[in-house]
Amino acid sequence: MRTTLSPLQYATKLPQAGNRLLVACYGFEQRSLGWAELQEHACLSTGNALIFRYKRPKGKNRINQLRKELKRLGVIQPTEVSCDGRYPITIEKDIESALQEQLSGKDEVVIDTSAMTKLLILACLCKLSTFPVRVRVVYSEAEDYAPTLRQYLGAGPTMAKVTAFPSRGVESIIRLTCLSSIRMQGQPTTMIAFASFNEQLVRHMLGSISPHRLLFINGRPPRNDYAWREDATQKIHQKLIDEYSNDNAIDANGRLVRSVSTLDYRETVRECEKIYRLYGLHERIIFAATGSKMQTVGLFIFKVKHPDVHIEYPTPDSYFVRGLSTGVRQVYEVVFDNFAEALRTFHADINNPGASDSESQP
């Protein structure tokens, strides 16, 4: 039996009936409230909410606002879990124990990734992977993101003025047990990274891993008004792309051939599959989780299918909190009717990637 990857679609307004659990995070962006504000009914009245609270938040989180929305949806007292990136082992244990306690008797889990770090997204999905419940992965797209085109152009060719870029520097590299693999030790290492506005994330990983091969996957925004960002993220990493030019093909327009949607996670799964077919049998594969949130969802799906790949998360040193994003443009979701079964049986049709996407993408 094989199943195709669940499509990306507009988020639905859920009915009151249903014993469901919301897994979310307090965040400082407006879009951290996107899914909750979309719901019009007490859709959590027979369930609960598991909310992660960062011990060292990068900005003033909208805690009271989210609690107010949760109360409207039927949750009087959400269960809070403290999250500290300095102690990754604790994060895994806390998530696992909290989910085991809260999932008892639940039919559905809504996991809102909008305010989660990529590490938290990966960890939560890993710990949910064995539960045979419906999982609804939610993502709220902002109306506007930093930097603007003017801010990016103002940074100049050296990229020195990056005060309005989404993140800066590297704090540490975090490794989780559920994302690790010791297979292929001693073999040549291929590192795959997603291009972003913070080149230091990749450089720090290079210093830690010293791979003989570095492959970039660029991000292609789904919106025409943000199409310039694909060229911008490539330019930011251009020195590394040139250094590893043999492994980073450029098309006739001067763009990286490996480019996937920043929104539709299925493109990430398929691109990773192509890379794995080339190098996975002979080299150790290490991914740097430096992509968008939905690219991170795709990376998790790929990791499930290929447990021998290894994923590491370079933590940004700081975020451009003021103006990182504004508003909520659209809320999306990906629904897996039986998460454990879907992960066990899915099949990504990478030979014909456009056939199903054009029909199901909103």
On whether residue 149 sits in a domain, the answer given is no
Residue-wise pLDDT for 233-258, tens only, equals: 999 999 999 999 999 999 999 999 99
CA atoms within 13 A on the CB side of 39: 23
Range of the domain at 36: 9-143+327-360
Evaluate the omega torsion of the peptide bond into residue 147 and state whether it is cis, within 30 degrees of 0. yes
Least confident span in 114-118, 245-249, 305-309, 320-324: 320-324
The verdict on 186 and 331 lying in the same domain is no
With cut-offs at 50, 70 and 90, classify the pLDDT of residue 159.
low
Pick the last residue of a domain from 286, 302, 319: 319
Residue 91 has pLDDT above 90, yes or no: no
Which CATH number do you get for residue 39? 3.40.50.11700
Q: Are residues 160 and 282 in the same domain?
A: yes
Regarding whether 331 and 286 lie in a shared domain, the answer is no
Task: Give CA–CA dist 61/115, Å, rounded.
Answer: 10
185 and 121 assigned to the same domain: no
Predicted TM-score of the model (pTM): 0.91
Question: What's the pLDDT score for residue 320?
Answer: 42
> Do 112 and 170 share a domain, yes or no?
no
Cα first-last separation, the chain: 27
pLDDT in the model for residue 75: 93
Co-location of 223 and 123 in the same domain: no
Question: Per-residue pLDDT averaged across 3-21, rounded?
Answer: 89
State yes or no: pLDDT of 170 exceeds 60.
no
Does 273 reside within a domain?
yes
pLDDT value at position 164? Answer: 41
Confidence of residue 317 (pLDDT cuts 50, 70, 90): low
Please report whether residue 125 resides in a domain.
yes
Cβ contacts of 255 within 8 Å, gap of 6 or more: 218, 230, 231, 234
* pLDDT above 80 for 359: no
Predicted pLDDT at 47: 83
**Is position 3 within any domain?**
no
> Is 2 within the bounds of a domain?
no
pLDDT at 316: 73
pLDDT tens digits for range 15-40: 987 789 999 999 999 999 999 999 98
Shared-domain flag, residues 243 and 112: no
Nearest alpha-carbon partner for 274 in 243, 237, 245, 249: 249
**Tell me, what's the pLDDT at 347?**
56
Q: Is residue 78 part of a domain?
A: yes
Task: Tell me the percentage of the chain whose pLDDT exceeds 70.
Answer: 88
Answer yes or no: do 248 and 109 share one domain. Answer: no
- Residues 350, 208 within the same domain: no
The tens digit of pLDDT for each residue in 57-87 reads: 767 899 999 999 999 999 989 999 998 867 7
* Same domain, residue pair 180 and 306: yes
State how far the Cα of 100 lies from the Cα of 21, in Å rounded to an integer.
Answer: 12
Are 94 and 168 within one domain? no
CB contact at 8 A, 24 and 49: yes
Query: Does some domain include residue 1?
Result: no
Q: What average pLDDT does this structure show over 308-326?
A: 73
Q: What is the CATH number of the domain that holds 255?
A: 3.40.50
| Residue 4 counted as domain residue | no
Domain tally, the chain: 2
In which region does residue 18 sit, left (phi positive, over 0), alpha (psi from -120 to 50) or beta (all else)? left
Residues 260 and 187 placed together within one structural domain of the fold: yes
